[in-house]
Amino acid sequence: MCRIERIHAREVFDSRGMPTVEVEVTCAGSRPGRAIVPSGASTGKYESVELRDRDSPRLDGTGVARAVENVCGEIAAALKGADASDQQDIDRRLCDLDGTDNKRRLGANATLGVSLAAAYAAAEAQGISFVDHLNRVWRSVPGTVNPAMSLPLPMVNMISGGLHAGGNLDIQDVLILPVGAGSFRQAWEWVISVYRRLGRLLSDEGYEGHLVGDEGGYGPRLKNNEDGIRFVVSAIESAGLEPGEQVAIGLDVAASHFYRDGSYHLSKPTEANLTADAMIDLLDDWVARYPIVSIEDALGEDDWNGWKRLTDRLGSKVQLIGDDLFVTNRARLQRGVEEGVGNSILIKLNQAGTLWETLETMRLAIDRGYRPVISARSGETEDTTIADLAVATGAGQIKVGSAARSERLAKYNQLLRLEEQLDGRIEFVGSKVLGGF
Ligand code: PGA
Ligand code: ZN
């Protein structure tokens, strides 16, 4: 029993200078556990609600004073004396107290902050590492398939577009997956090499090879989306690595953001309004010509019919990840499973709003053969929870952003630390996690 004695919150700031919630939970006789909540820009319409002080002139209405008050007031009163090591109970109380289906009353930024800080406090109180505590919690979530703890394959942003880089490209991310690496450290060193070569290649061609987007990827104004893929393939080659065999390509299309009135409005190379089927043709063509193994949000969050046809066409060739589509929500994932839509799910803690609900969604995914990809948000902080989460659950993949900006590197550095500290206890998953892709 780790009895909660104190819960405190404050407003701090994320990597875009946006206010966010930091929470400290203290159990009797031990040091506080602390967590900071991240924040998205290309948010899905069905995510849990992030509470901001929209009606206040302070910080142009972006403040989170109300969410902070909810933690220090109502939530602190309700959770005082509760057992921080019983994550299910903590998170059930948070959901019951909120009383809505999407955390719109207390704010998912308030509930997630408390949920995660309680987990850190429980680890402190038990005198065990955070990753070991998370692994205990994970094993207590009902499910049948139980992956061992492992080091994830990183999916790393190289070129940023869409809402993360001022609309330079339609596609939000061109990413690399160092599938042929033998350890996390080697995977990471390959990533750094490719990232450096890419910056040079872009500069050599007259593009902005040093300006980066919200997640640290380069944000060049390329002529078209496909050029982004071409540049990344060249950078892999220029680093002396084999595209596909050693380093593969991933895309986050983030298509919800250019889907309007039944069609996909691409601005590059020329204004093109594509139907879902034309989008699928385009992606199928790219998959045939480039070493692409993973595509996220290829179609919009409401386009279930398009998604079904996409999965029938490409689902056996590549990983198809639902981010805005599934929003880490069990009911939406259940619909996906029943309708045969997608084969993988992006996992973002703040889309769900509590740790336990996030883990339940991951359990459903793994039991139904959907690969979970643990993900950061475009607005991040020094908080490294997702690195431990990916290891503790054996999720297999992690997506944090690029190889620059400390809010990204904080997570990769934590993975390097865990690789060293857990040497002999855990393995790097490498290409195994992608099966036949
Ligand atoms: P977001 O972007 O955090 O801005 O939503 C990340 C993603 O789309 O994967
Ligand atoms: Zn996404």
* 258 Cα to the center of ligand 2, angstroms: 13
Atom of ligand 1 nearest to the CA of 40: 3
Q: What is Dmax (Cα atoms) for the chain?
A: 64
* 263 Cα to the center of ligand 2, angstroms: 19
* 426 Cα to the center of ligand 2, angstroms: 28
Report d(CA 332, CA 328) in Å as an integer.
8
pLDDT tens digits, one per residue of 18-70: 999 999 999 999 999 999 999 999 999 999 999 999 999 999 999 999 999 99
β-pair partners for 296: 252, 321
Strands 259-260 and 319-322: unpaired
Is residue 253 a contact partner of residue 171, using CB atoms and an 8 Å limit?
Answer: yes
* 371 Cα to the center of ligand 2, angstroms: 15
Helices 385-393 and 406-421 pack at an angle, to 10 degrees, of: 40
Per-residue pLDDT 10s for the chain (437 aa) are 999 999 999 999 999 999 999 999 999 999 999 999 999 999 999 999 999 999 999 999 999 999 999 999 999 999 999 999 999 999 999 999 999 999 999 999 999 999 999 999 999 999 999 999 999 999 999 998 888 999 999 999 999 999 888 888 999 999 999 999 999 999 999 999 999 999 999 999 999 888 999 999 999 999 999 999 999 999 999 999 999 999 999 999 999 999 998 899 998 766 689 999 999 999 999 999 999 999 999 999 999 999 999 999 999 999 999 999 999 999 999 999 999 999 999 999 999 999 999 999 999 999 999 999 999 999 999 999 999 999 999 999 999 999 999 999 999 999 999 999 999 999 999 889 998 78
Reading the block at residue 394, the tokens are 């054996």
Pocket test for ligand 1, best of 160, 326, 348 (most atoms within 8 A of CB): 348
| Nearest Cα to Cα of residue 378 among 350, 415, 342, 418 | 350
Report d(CA 273, CA 291) in Å as an integer.
26
Is residue 411 a contact partner of residue 73, using CB atoms and an 8 Å limit?
Answer: no
Report d(CA 156, CA 214) in Å as an integer.
13
For the question of residue 338 being annotated catalytic, the response is no
Is residue 218 a contact partner of residue 158, using CB atoms and an 8 Å limit?
Answer: yes
The ligand minimizing its distance to the Cα of 325 is 2
Residue with tokens 């290409």: 431
Angle at CA of residue 43, ends 37 and 46, nearest 5°: 100
β-pair partners for 22: 10, 36
Pocket-forming residues, ligand 1, beta carbon under 6 Å = 40-43, 172, 252, 254, 323, 346, 375, 377-378
Is residue 79 a contact partner of residue 4, using CB atoms and an 8 Å limit?
Answer: yes
Beta strands in 192-260 (DSSP E): 248-252, 259-260
* 126 Cα to the center of ligand 2, angstroms: 36
The confidence score (pLDDT) of residue 270 equals 67
The confidence score (pLDDT) of residue 41 equals 95
Element (H, E) at 26: strand 19-27
Is residue 322 a contact partner of residue 345, using CB atoms and an 8 Å limit?
Answer: yes
CA of residue 219 relative to chain centroid, distance: 20
Report d(CA 32, CA 328) in Å as an integer.
28
Atom of ligand 1 nearest to the CA of 44: 5
Report d(CA 353, CA 113) in Å as an integer.
9
| Nearest Cα to Cα of residue 73 among 29, 103, 114 | 114
* 192 Cα to the center of ligand 2, angstroms: 22
β-pair partners for 346: 373
Report d(CA 30, CA 118) in Å as an integer.
12
Q: Within a 13 Å sphere around the CA of 339, how many CA atoms are in the beta-carbon half? A: 18
Is residue 391 a contact partner of residue 415, using CB atoms and an 8 Å limit?
Answer: yes
The ligand minimizing its distance to the Cα of 351 is 1
Pocket test for ligand 1, best of 155, 172, 373 (most atoms within 8 A of CB): 172
3-state secondary structure of 360: helix
Report d(CA 56, CA 61) in Å as an integer.
5
- Give me the catalytic one of 47, 50, 124, 215: 215
Atom of ligand 1 nearest to the CA of 254: 8
Pocket test for ligand 1, best of 45, 378, 402 (most atoms within 8 A of CB): 378
Beta strands in 79-210 (DSSP E): 150-151, 153-160, 173-177
pLDDT tens digits, one per residue of 135-161: 999 999 999 888 899 999 999 999 999
Residue count of the chain: 437
- Give me the catalytic one of 103, 268, 308, 348: 348
Q: Where are the alpha helices (DSSP H) in 99-161?
A: 108-126, 130-139
For the question of residue 22 being annotated catalytic, the response is no
Q: Whole-prediction pTM value?
A: 0.98
Beta strands in 165-282 (DSSP E): 173-177, 248-252, 259-260, 263-266, 272-274
Report d(CA 206, CA 208) in Å as an integer.
7
Atom of ligand 1 nearest to the CA of 346: 9
- Dihedral, CA atoms, 333, 339, 344, 345, nearest 10 degrees? -20
Pocket test for ligand 1, best of 42, 156, 327 (most atoms within 8 A of CB): 42
The confidence score (pLDDT) of residue 85 equals 98
The confidence score (pLDDT) of residue 269 equals 66
- DSSP category for residue 243: B
* 368 Cα to the center of ligand 1, angstroms: 24
3-state secondary structure of 74: helix
Atom of ligand 1 nearest to the CA of 377: 3
The ligand minimizing its distance to the Cα of 252 is 2
Q: DSSP letters of 401-412?
A: E-S-SHHHHHHH
Beta strands in 284-343 (DSSP E): 292-296, 319-322
First to last CA, the chain: 45
Atom of ligand 1 nearest to the CA of 379: 3
The ligand minimizing its distance to the Cα of 348 is 1
The confidence score (pLDDT) of residue 268 equals 78
